[in-house]
Structures are given as C-alpha cells and as structure tokens.
C-alpha cells in the first residue's frame, strides 16, 4: 500500500504546474474539537451557563464576562476576533438561523472520522473508532508535502496524540507534534526547550493523550517563526475535553482562549513579510454536539441529534469578504479541495474527494 501511494503521489507531481504567484501562497489551518455552532453564532446558553456557575465564588464575574443582552453581544464577548475581524474581512459559515448549514458527511459524528473527512475529503466508512490505526487515506497535508512548491514546508501541531495516526506521520513524512511530545531537533529556540519542559510539569487534567492548548499553540508559533512553513495545522482539544466533563464555563473559556490564539497568530503573520498578504486562515471543527440545553450537550455521536452540525470560517487574500454566509448548504468533505484551491492546487487522491466550495474561492 505504501509503494502504491508513493507512486500515485509521485505521478501527480509532474502533472501539476505552479505559477510563481501560486507558489507564494500559504495557509494556516486551525481546528477546534467539538465546538458547537450554537455557541459560536448565538453566544453562551443562559441555562447551561447559570447551571455551570452555580455555587462558584467568581460566578458573578464570569457571568459579566460571558453574558450580554443579545446574541450578537454575547458571541462577540465569547469570540471577539472571529466576529470583529474574520467576519468582516472573511467568511463565516454555519449559522443555521440564517439557513447557512454545514454538515459532516461521515456516519459517526466524532473525532477521528471527522478529522479524516476534513483532511482527505473522503468520509471513509471504515474509520469508525478514535482508536483506528494509521490513516490509510492520503491527507491534504501529505499530498502537499509531495509537491515541489511545498516539500518540507508542511507541519502539524496538535493537542490530541491521535493526530500522529490521523495524519499518518510515519508514511507522510511531515512533522506531527501531538500530545505530550517534545519538539526535537538541533536548532530549537530557547522557548521551545522551555515549553518542552513545562508541558510535562503541568497536570494531565485531560488524560495522558491530550495536552493543554496553550502548549500546543506556543510550540506551533515557535515552529512558525523558526521554519516558516507554507502549510501549518494547529489543532485544539480543550473545548471537547471540558464539554465531556460537563464544565460549560471552562468550555467557553477555552473557546475564548482559542480565539485569542488565533488573533495572535494572525497578528504575527501580518507582520512577517514571508506571510503578509499571502496567507489564508482556515478554521474548522470536527463535529458538533447535542443541541439540548442541559441533558445531551456534552455528547456527540450518530445517536445524538445535532452532532453532525458544524461550522467553519476563512479569511485571506484569495477569499472575498462576504461576512456571515446565508442560505447555503455545504459539507465538511468539501474542505480539503477548497483549502487546496486556496493554494492554487488541485487535490487528487485515489479516493473520491468532495468538491470545492465555490464561494470561498476568489477567482480574481
């Protein structure tokens, strides 16, 4: 299988031409885990928020931080960068109250199948477990790493250790730093060495395979500064981890912190000539969650209504600033080909790939 895939990828290298303009294009892909569209577009849910803060000493302060008179005010408090910058300069999909629908295509509605769908454009029915072994499908990251313009310029930093399997680190040859794994190499920065040590001194509050998002983010940012990859994936986990523990206030805090990290990376790339005005930011989530106020919001699977409902956002020089999208149905399996098109690349694999989302691509 490995030889077949390498042969297939190799044959594509000769068939894909890149203009100088296209080879300058970059993308940063950021994935949240299990972050509901309801919270993104409507802000915190009052019942869940009050319930989660009951009896806590700082409940009044947290209520003030998260709550507002309207959905617009609440969502801006929760994710100010998304709503004040991305929604103005880019596009945001998934507000079902505006008939903007984004759904997963896979049958399972949890993480490994979701991430496979995001990165391969192929909702593989055989991938039916988070414990599934190394992904047999070619991901967009692996494909790009085989193209001359992106060779050795692709990397992934993830809070969840499973990404070494999801992105098939061994076969793909791309750097995948996931879970509580140290960054290795001869040219590490002082910050990387420090964060390597710090991550092992933090409590493993989510278990041995899920590290804190701040650790993942700052390691990724150091790599961005040191290596200048053209394609960088950063994956967060805390929203899902806190949701499974029915800690809605911490779930919201994690979403807001992730928004701050996204703002930070965007500020950095807009001040680096290598990235400025050449880089797309693509943000997505792998699955939804239950849509009831209390009893099933912590869950997600094919038996939990709402778990197939997701959202995504995109901003960059090759996407028109259309803001909140209305009256459109798109699917998660369309992301891979869309992200490739933003780089000027046609993503082709042995498996069928979902079509690109035309409204994301600025033909001009």
pTM of the model: 0.94
pLDDT for res 22: 67
Given the DSSP bridges, would you call strands 231-235 and 154-158 parallel, antiparallel or unpaired? parallel
Per-block mean pLDDT, blocks of 10 residues, the chain (364 long): 49 44 87 97 93 89 91 97 98 98 98 98 98 98 97 98 98 97 96 98 96 98 98 98 96 98 98 98 97 80 95 98 98 98 97 97 70
Residue 87: what pLDDT? 98
| pLDDT for the residue 188 | 97
- In this predicted structure, what is the pLDDT of residue 13? 43
Q: What pLDDT score was predicted for residue 14?
A: 38
Over 150-215, what HEC string results?
CCCCEEEEECECCHHHHCCHHHHCCCEEECCCCCCCCCCCHHHHHHHHHHHHCCCCCCCCECCHHH
Name the H helices within 2-42.
2-13, 20-23, 37-42
Q: How far apart are the first and last CA of the chain?
A: 40
Integer CA distances (angstroms), 93 to 140, 236, 316, 359, in order: 21, 19, 15, 11
Question: What is the model's pLDDT at position 4?
Answer: 44
**Six token digits for residue 305:** 């209504």
Neighbouring-strand partners of residue 92: 313, 324
> Which among 216, 240, 211 is positioned nearest to 39, based on CA atoms?
240
What is the spatial distance between Cα 139 and Cα 136, in angstroms, rounded to a whole number?
A: 9
The domain defined by 2-360 folds into Alkaline Phosphatase, subunit A (3.40.720)
Domain edges within the chain: 2-360
pLDDT for the residue numbered 363 = 59
Task: Give residues with Cβ within 8 angstroms of 255, minimum separation 6.
Answer: 32, 35, 39, 40, 78, 79, 239
Residue in 363, 313, 358 with CA at minimum distance from that of residue 28: 313
Provide DSSP, 268-318: HHTTSTTTTTTEEEEEEES-----SSSSSTT--STTSTTTTEE-EEEESTT
Q: In the sheet where 328-331 sits, what is the strand order?
A: 309-310, 100-103, 328-331
**Six token digits for residue 262:** 């996204």
């Amino acid at each position: 299988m490995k030889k077949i895939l390498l042969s297939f990828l190799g044959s594509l290298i000769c068939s894909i031409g890149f203009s100088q303009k296209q080879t300058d294009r970059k993308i940063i892909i950021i994935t949240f885990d299990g972050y509901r569209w309801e919270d993104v577009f409507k802000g915190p849910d009052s019942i869940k928020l009050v319930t989660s803060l009951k009896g806590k000493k700082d409940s009044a302060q947290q209520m003030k931080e998260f709550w507002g008179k309207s959905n617009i005010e609440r969502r801006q408090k929760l994710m100010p960068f998304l709503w004040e910058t991305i929604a103005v300069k880019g596009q945001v999909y998934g507000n079902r109250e505006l008939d903007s629908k984004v759904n997963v295509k896979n049958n399972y509605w949890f993480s490994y199948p979701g991430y496979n769908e995001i990165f391969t454009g192929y909702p593989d029915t055989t991938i039916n477990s988070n414990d599934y072994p190394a992904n047999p499908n070619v991901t967009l990251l692996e494909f790009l790493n085989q193209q001359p313009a992106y060779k050795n310029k692709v990397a992934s930093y993830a809070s969840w250790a499973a990404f070494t399997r999801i992105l098939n680190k061994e076969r793909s040859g791309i750097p995948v730093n996931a879970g509580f794994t140290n960054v290795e190499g001869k040219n590490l920065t002082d910050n990387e060495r420090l964060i390597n040590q710090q991550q092992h001194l933090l409590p493993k509050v989510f278990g041995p395979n899920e590290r804190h998002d701040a650790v993942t983010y700052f390691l990724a940012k150091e790599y961005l500064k040191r290596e200048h990859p053209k394609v960088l994936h950063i994956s967060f986990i805390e929203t899902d981890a806190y949701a499974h523990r029915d800690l809605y206030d911490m779930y919201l805090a994690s979403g807001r912190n992730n928004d701050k990290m996204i703002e930070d990376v965007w500020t950095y790339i807009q001040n680096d000539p290598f990235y400025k005005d050449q880089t797309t930011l693509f943000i997505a989530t792998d699955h939804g969650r239950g849509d009831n106020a209390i009893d099933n919001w912590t869950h997600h699977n094919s038996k939990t209504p709402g778990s197939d409902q997701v959202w995504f956002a995109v901003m960059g020089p090759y996407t028109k600033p259309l803001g909140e999208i209305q009256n459109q149905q798109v699917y998660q399996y369309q992301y891979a080909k869309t992200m490739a098109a933003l780089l000027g690349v046609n993503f082709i694999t042995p498996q069928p790939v979902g079509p690109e989302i035309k409204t994301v691509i600025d033909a001009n």
